[in-house]
Amino acid sequence: MSEANTNGSPNGGATTTVADPPREKLTKKAITADHPTWCPGCGDFAVLASYYKVLEKRNIDQEKIVTIAGIGCSSRFPYFVNGHGAHFIHGRAVPLASGISLARPDLHVFLFGGDGDGFSIGGNHVDHGGRKNVNLTYFIMDNFVYGLTKKQTSPTSPIGFKSKTDPQGAIDQPVNPMKKLIAGGATFVARTHASQVNHMIQMIERATDHQGFSVIECLSECVEFYPGAFDPANPRKGGSFELIQEKKWDNTPEDELRHDVTDELAAYKLAQLPFPGVFGVFYQSDRPTKNSLEKKWIEQSREKVGNGSDVEVLQRTFDKMK
Ligand SMILES: Cc1ncc(C[n+]2csc(CCOP(=O)(O)OP(=O)(O)O)c2C)c(N)n1
Ligand code: SF4
Ligand SMILES: [Mg+2]
């Protein structure tokens, strides 16, 4: 997810090199801000713990961590992380995070939110973030319900789910997150479960390493308004957590049957499996990011005006307007 780690202007203007002072290793204590206020047992606690773990393990410079979210229980993440961040508008976190990523490619932009935030009100933004392949990591805590507003049908609620908006049971076909994300153009699409902490950490790490719009859907139980929703994929509750077997490219007959993460059609086939489906990386592509394409375009434009600093380029533009 992170590109160049520079001290200067991310857009290639005049740079001032400032030596980093020696720093201590990032600790959980250093990155922990407020205590979460979620209901006891909410799946989102484990997601937050996994996020802390990755930040700590990767020893990411604290001032380079950006935690952005929309609105919802799951969107409360920015309050709990000691770094930059914003609890933004419902469904509008992707454009904010995209702007940050494009303007400051040296930062690590993480985005958190719920199924309502990402697939309902913000669904269109998610498609465009994917299409543009903006370099950031988006973690969607899918609990199949609107938790914060106390149990309305969400875009991922299954048919028959009884809620305040569908007292007779939901009748609309739910969104299939994997299919939507792949079709939208996201270049890293994975699925995990909040009861599987090691798997969650692995997925966040792989998404963090990916250059481009990386999205993880995580089944995260709302114990208050949809208890037991994800038991079928939780071995501790009698379910089975079935992992995607990725190709090892080792020329063995078994490998023929394994999943090629670059094969979009194979990813759709996995996404078609009945609930609770499979977990892991469905799809990954190395399509260039908007960040890298835009950087090239900025460099070419700057060359045309004699490689001046940002201020000089701006001044020339103003002069032309006189
Ligand atoms: C523009 C706007 N519309 C509606 C709301 C009300 N609202 C707040 S959160 C939410 C849905 C939350 O569901 P989800 O995104 O799934 O998050 P969860 O609480 O389940 O984690 C809604 C409808 C709002 N805050 N702003
Ligand atoms: S209402 Fe549901 S999603 Fe919200 S904090 Fe409680 S358990 Fe978690
Ligand atoms: Mg939700």
At residue 16, the pLDDT reads 67
CA 214 to mean position of chain CA atoms: 6
- Per-residue confidence (pLDDT) for residue 116, from 0 to 100: 98
The one-letter code for the residue type at 221 is E
**Cβ 33 under 6 angstroms from ligand 2:** no
Out of 3.40.50.300, 2.40.220.10, 3.30.1330.10, 3.40.50.970, select the CATH number for domain 28-287: 3.40.50.970
- Give the pLDDT of residue 143: 98
Question: Which pLDDT score, from 0 to 100, does residue 189 have?
Answer: 99
CA 172–ligand 1 middle distance (angstroms): 19
Distance 42 CA to ligand 2 centre (A): 6
Residue 321, burial from CB neighbour count under 10 angstroms (0-12, 13-18, 19+): exposed
Residues of 246-273 as b/e, b for ≥16 C-beta within 10 angstroms? ebeeeeeeeeeebbebeeeebbbebbee
**pLDDT value of position 82:** 96
Confidence (pLDDT) at 5: 42
CA dihedral angle for residue 240, residue 241, residue 242, residue 246, rounded to 10 degrees: -170
pLDDT of the residue at 310: 84
Q: Is the CB of 276 under 6 A from ligand 1?
A: no
**pLDDT at position 165:** 98
Number of C-beta neighbours around residue 197 at 10 A: 15
What is the per-residue pLDDT for 12?
46
* Ligand 1 pocket, residue 74 CB under 6 Å: yes
CA distance 37 to 57: 25
Both tokens of 86, joined, read: 């914003």
Q: If DSSP states are collapsed to H, E and C, what string results for the chain?
A: CCCCCCCCCCCCCCCCCCCCCCCCCCCHHHHECCCCCCCCCCCHHHHHHHHHHHHHHHCCCHHHEEEEECCCCHHHHHHHECCEEEECCCCCHHHHHHHHHHHCCCCEEEEEEEHHHHHHHCHHHHHHHHHHCCCEEEEEEECCEECCCCCEECCCCCCCCCCCCCCCCCCCCCCCHHHHHHHHCCCEEEEEECCCHHHHHHHHHHHHHCCCEEEEEEECCCCCCCCCCCHHHCHHHCCCCCECCECCCCCCHHHHCCECCCCHHHHHHHHCCCCCCCEEEEEECCCCCHHHHHHHHHHHHHHHCCCCCHHHHHHHHHHHHC
pTM: 0.92
The predicted pLDDT at position 305 comes to 80
Q: How do 188-193 and 152-153 pair as beta strands?
A: unpaired
CA 223 to centroid of ligand 2, rounded, Å: 6
Query: Which pLDDT score is estimated for 312?
Result: 86
Among 158, 147, 90, which Cα is nearest to 123's? 90
Distance CA 267, CA 88 (A): 32
| Domain segments of the chain as ranges | 28-287, 288-322
Query: Which atom belonging to ligand 2 lies closest to the Cα atom of 114?
Result: 3
- Tell me which residues of the chain have a pLDDT lower than 50: 2-12
Q: What is the pLDDT of residues 134-155, one digit of tens each?
A: 999 999 999 999 999 999 999 9
Span from the CA of 225 to the centroid of ligand 3 (angstroms): 10
pLDDT digits over 250-270, tens only?
999 999 999 999 999 999 999
